[in-house]
């Protein structure tokens, strides 16, 4: 029979609360018998057996859970001293760590940890392990300055340096390095952007070419001068002499008329107090002609002639050589000294 212990407890409590004096002994006797009836007939051995059974169940369940934890833990590293034997994919997560060594000698084997990056506090540099060596990374200081200890090789088609001043300690700068011969080095040189000014090497003539004038402030020692002479076959009309490209003009064909000579690009290429000199060689046949009008930048000038008189004609069957020295005395203002001599 199933006993509702809650009801029994409630009835016992009520009975006890209502008990008074000694007239209820018989009720207490009955109460004791009732309590005896409630005690189960359980032996010690059965309790022990049940306990062993429950302990076994708990142990089995515990072993199962421990095994599950161990299996799951096999996929995780310990918090200290872990060694990975495969790749670790952190996805989009970040790793924050301080891989700092006090001295360069404290770094581990570069061969063992090939590809490792580390910072050495004593040198203030970063390093990476490659080829059994710790290779220093290029570092900039707080000012953005970079010092490279060793040679620098730049491979590419263009190197741009954005700085105000370029200081070079080297005694020699080589351009067109690796050129097989002079032809391969043709047009090597320097270009000033914006001014279109160039200094280039010409292999055909084995010369340096300046496309701008050269100002020398001080003595100029020259062992030999080779001057360009422009060969002109014209025989009449105005002779244009460009001061930027020619100083000697040879008219190698018999002249057929008196002519005007105009020296161009003078004012723009001379400062006040500077001078230019020109020589014009005019070939004459049996009928001789001469220059009878003179211009600087298209404006007429009157030369001062050697001997005090301007020529009034040419010298037949020879070459008349005119020399002109143009001195700039003010903007677009010139004094021209001239002479003529016959060679026959």
Dist CA 200 CA 116 (whole Å): 48
What's the mean per-residue pLDDT of the chain? 87
Query: The domain containing residue 106 runs over which residues?
Result: 100-136
Is residue 72 assigned to a domain? no
Tell me the per-residue pLDDT of 298-332, one tens digit each, with 9 for 90 and over: 999 999 999 999 999 999 999 999 999 999 999 99
Final residue before a domain boundary, out of 136, 164, 196: 136
pLDDT for position 62: 84
- Dihedral (CA of 35, 41, 45, 47) sign: negative
Most confident of 3-7, 62-66, 141-145, 183-187: 183-187
Band of residue 117 on the pLDDT scale cut at 50, 70, 90:
very high
Band of residue 51 on the pLDDT scale cut at 50, 70, 90:
confident
Is residue 63 assigned to a domain? no
Is residue 67 assigned to a domain? no
Is residue 47 assigned to a domain? no
Which phi and psi angles does 326 have, rounded to 5°?
Answer: -105, 120
Q: Are residues 234 and 339 in the same domain?
A: yes
Final residue before a domain boundary, out of 92, 108, 136: 136
Arithmetic mean of pLDDT, 265-281: 96
Band of residue 32 on the pLDDT scale cut at 50, 70, 90:
low
DSSP string, 271-340: -TT-EEEEEEEEEE-SS---EEEEEETTEE--PEEGGG----S--TTEEEEEEEEEEEEETTEEEEEEEE
Is residue 283 assigned to a domain? yes
Dist CA 296 CA 241 (whole Å): 10
Dist CA 43 CA 49 (whole Å): 10
Arithmetic mean of pLDDT, 246-259: 97
Which phi and psi angles does 162 have, rounded to 5°?
Answer: -100, 90
- Number of structural domains (the chain) is 2
Is residue 328 assigned to a domain? yes
Is residue 255 assigned to a domain? yes
pLDDT for position 1: 52
The whole-model pTM stands at 0.51
Tell me the per-residue pLDDT of 97-111, one tens digit each, with 9 for 90 and over: 889 999 999 999 999
Is residue 249 assigned to a domain? yes
pLDDT for position 324: 98
Q: Would you say residue 22 has pLDDT above 70?
A: no
Q: Which residue has the tokens 């020296």?
A: 263
Contact assessment for residue 303 and residue 338, using Cβ atoms and an 8 Å cutoff: yes
pLDDT for position 21: 53
Q: Say which CATH number the domain at 260 has.
A: 2.60.120
Q: Are residues 234 and 338 in the same domain?
A: yes
């Amino acid at each position: 029979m199933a006993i509702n212990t809650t009801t029994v407890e409630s009835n016992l409590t009520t009975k006890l609360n209502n008990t008074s004096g000694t007239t209820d002994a018989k009720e207490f006797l009955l109460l004791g018998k009732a309590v005896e009836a409630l005690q189960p007939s359980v032996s010690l051995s059965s309790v022990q057996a049940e306990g062993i059974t429950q302990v076994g169940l708990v142990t089995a369940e515990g072993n199962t859970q421990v095994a599950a934890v161990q299996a799951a833990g096999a996929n995780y590293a310990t918090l200290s001293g872990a060694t990975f034997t495969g790749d670790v994919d952190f996805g989009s997560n970040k790793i924050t760590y301080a891989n700092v060594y006090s001295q360069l000698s404290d770094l581990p084997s570069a061969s063992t940890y090939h590809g490792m990056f580390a910072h050495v506090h004593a040198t203030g540099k970063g390093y990476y392990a490659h080829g059994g060596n710790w290779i220093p990374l290029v570092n900039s200081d707080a000012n953005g300055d970079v010092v490279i200890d060793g040679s620098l090789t730049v491979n590419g088609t263009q190197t741009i340096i954005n700085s105000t001043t370029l200081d070079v300690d080297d005694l020699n700068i080589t351009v067109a390095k690796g050129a097989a011969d002079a032809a391969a080095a043709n047009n090597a040189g320097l270009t000033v952007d914006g001014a279109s000014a160039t200094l280039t090497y010409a292999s055909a003539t084995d010369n340096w070419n300046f496309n701008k004038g050269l100002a020398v402030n001080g003595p100029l020692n020259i062992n030999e001068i080779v001057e360009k002479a422009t060969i002109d076959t014209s025989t009449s009309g105005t002779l244009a002499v460009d001061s930027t490209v020619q100083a000697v003009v040879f008219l190698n064909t018999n002249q057929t008329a008196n002519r005007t000579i105009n020296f161009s690009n003078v004012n723009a290429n001379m400062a006040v107090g500077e001078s230019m000199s020109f020589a014009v060689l005019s070939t004459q046949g049996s009928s001789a002609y001469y220059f009878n009008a003179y211009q600087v930048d298209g404006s007429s000038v009157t030369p001062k002639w050697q001997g005090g008189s301007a020529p009034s004609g040419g010298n037949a069957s020879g070459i008349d050589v005119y020399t002109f020295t143009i001195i700039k005395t003010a903007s677009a203002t010139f004094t021209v000294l001239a002479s003529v001599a016959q060679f026959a």
